[in-house]
């Protein structure tokens, strides 16, 4: 293993996790092709996107809690291998809604062993004074990598069939594995426990996540955050394709940027990196627990504004999409850093397990709720249906923001 300074270590781990996310947006980018090939409704398409998060949420409590007892490096490497195999399986072995869901579920299981365990390993391996910045940086790999995935998926889809495009993006898992093998300490812990699987290792202690109101408040907010971001990424490309059809002009090339749907969504997502870091910096001036609900409700309102913008020039809708995508990502680092700070280091793995499982349950439900709203109110060719979908998700986000604020204030030292 190569030893690095704490700053260099955080940057390298960011790059590794960035590579791990190359395939995350591959399905949303080619969703219209998959819907056509497999004759899927919007509800089924939403579930196909969301079942990834079901696999993630179902196994996260065990895999993340296991990091209190087992070397996170081992968990990460085996999980990343499963991610790569699941992407290839979806590309070449799935041929309908059911088989597609099996491989997407396995992809979620694999990713569950990389994101939160990786986040915990990074937070444990750096000095306490760097923890907030390290968590924010690692968190930023998700929107940045997801945005990059939209760009890569869109580019590959122009030259390859959708199956090959998805399989090629699985190569990112090899890069991530190489980074972790070379740079992640074999034992990145601060609790002094021995690495190994003992009695009850598969039963993380999640009780502190529910008895600590600060932790619970962050969990409620994370549920809404994941619901919003997963819904946006699942349907944004399809939304923009419809926006092109109903706009007065369908031209997508303006200046030096090609405003095709995949590129717009990629830009909206990748800009989450500077915004997440900016939000973390703002906590030096604004209380984090106040900033979180402000960002959450801003995203809910912008989603409705986006739906209302249908019928405007395509470039206008695209700009609103970029602003909305940035707002949806902005609170990710705030929530992760707040959760880490609220949890006792001895039980941090179990608290993060509950946080991740409940959050990514929201990521499963978001696309499904949105897809049902689309189907019940006119389908993806109806402006009213899109407004209904964004409003439904926006209401849930607003309610979660209010509940989260109340919980955190009740136990705010």
Each residue of 134-160: b (16+ CB within 10 Å) or e?
bbbbbbbbbbbbbbbbbbbbbebbeee
The per-residue pLDDT for range 267-294, each reduced to its tens digit, is 888 887 788 878 888 888 888 889 999 9
Work out the mean pLDDT of the chain and round it to a whole number: 86
- Can you list the residues of the chain whose pLDDT is less than 70? 1, 65, 187-204, 249-258, 410-413
β-bridge pairing 257-258 and 253-254: antiparallel
- What the chain holds in terms of domains, given with CATH numbers, is 6-186+204-410 (1.20.1250.20)
Nearest to 228 by CA among 328, 140, 142, 332: 328
How far lies 377's CA from each of 59, 162, 212, 380, in Å? 34, 29, 40, 9
Nearest to 381 by CA among 247, 246, 260: 246
The per-residue pLDDT for range 166-200, each reduced to its tens digit, is 999 999 999 999 999 998 877 644 444 444 444 44
pLDDT at position 411 is: 57
pLDDT at position 40 is: 92
For 246, the token pair is 């109903």
Return d(Cα 312, Cα 267) in angstroms, integer.
Answer: 20
């Amino acid at each position: 293993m190569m030893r690095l300074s704490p700053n260099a270590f955080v940057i390298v781990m960011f790059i590794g996790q960035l590579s791990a996310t190359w395939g995350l947006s591959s399905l949303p980018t080619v969703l219209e092709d998959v819907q056509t090939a497999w004759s899927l409704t919007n509800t089924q398409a939403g579930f196909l996107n969301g079942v990834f998060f079901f696999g993630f949420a179902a196994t996260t409590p065990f895999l993340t809690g296991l990091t209190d007892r087992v070397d996170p490096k081992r968990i990460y490497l085996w999980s990343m291998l499963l991610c790569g195999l699941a992407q290839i399986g979806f590309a070449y072995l799935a041929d309908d809604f059911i088989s597609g869901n099996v491989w997407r579920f396995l992809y979620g299981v694999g990713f569950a062993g990389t994101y939160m365990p990786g986040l915990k390993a990074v937070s444990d391996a750096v000095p306490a004074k760097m923890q907030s910045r390290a968590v924010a940086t690692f968190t930023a790999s998700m929107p940045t990598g997801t945005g990059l995935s939209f760009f890569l998926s869109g580019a590959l889809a122009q030259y390859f069939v959708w199956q090959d495009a998805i399989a090629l993006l699985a190569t990112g898992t090899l890069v991530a594995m190489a980074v972790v093998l070379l740079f992640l300490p074999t034992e990145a812990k601060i609790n002094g426990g021995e690495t190994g699987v003992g009695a009850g290792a598969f039963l993380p202690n999640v009780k502190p996540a529910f008895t600590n109101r600060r932790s619970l408040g962050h969990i409620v907010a994370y549920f809404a955050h994941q619901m919003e971001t997963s819904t946006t990424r699942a349907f944004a490309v399809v939304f923009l394709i419809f926006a092109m059809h109903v706009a007065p002009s369908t031209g997508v090339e303006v200046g030096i940027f090609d405003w095709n749907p995949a590129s717009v969504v990629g830009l909206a997502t990748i800009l989450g990196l500077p915004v997440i870091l900016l939000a973390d910096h703002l906590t030096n001036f604004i209380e984090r627990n106040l900033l979180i609900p402000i960002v959450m409700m801003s995203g809910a309102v912008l989603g409705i504004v986006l739906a209302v913008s249908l019928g405007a020039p395509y470039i206008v809708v695209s700009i609103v999409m970029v602003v909305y995508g940035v707002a949806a990502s902005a609170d990710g680092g705030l929530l992760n850093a707040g959760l880490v700070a609220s949890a006792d280091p001895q039980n941090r793995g179990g608290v993060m397990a509950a946080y991740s499982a409940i959050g990514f349950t929201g990521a499963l439900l978001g696309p499904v709720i949105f897809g049902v709203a689309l189907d019940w109110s006119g389908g993806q060719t109806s402006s009213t249906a899109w407004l209904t979908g964004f409003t439904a998700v926006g209401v849930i986000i607003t309610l979660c923001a209010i509940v989260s604020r109340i919980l955190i204030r009740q136990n705010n030292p």
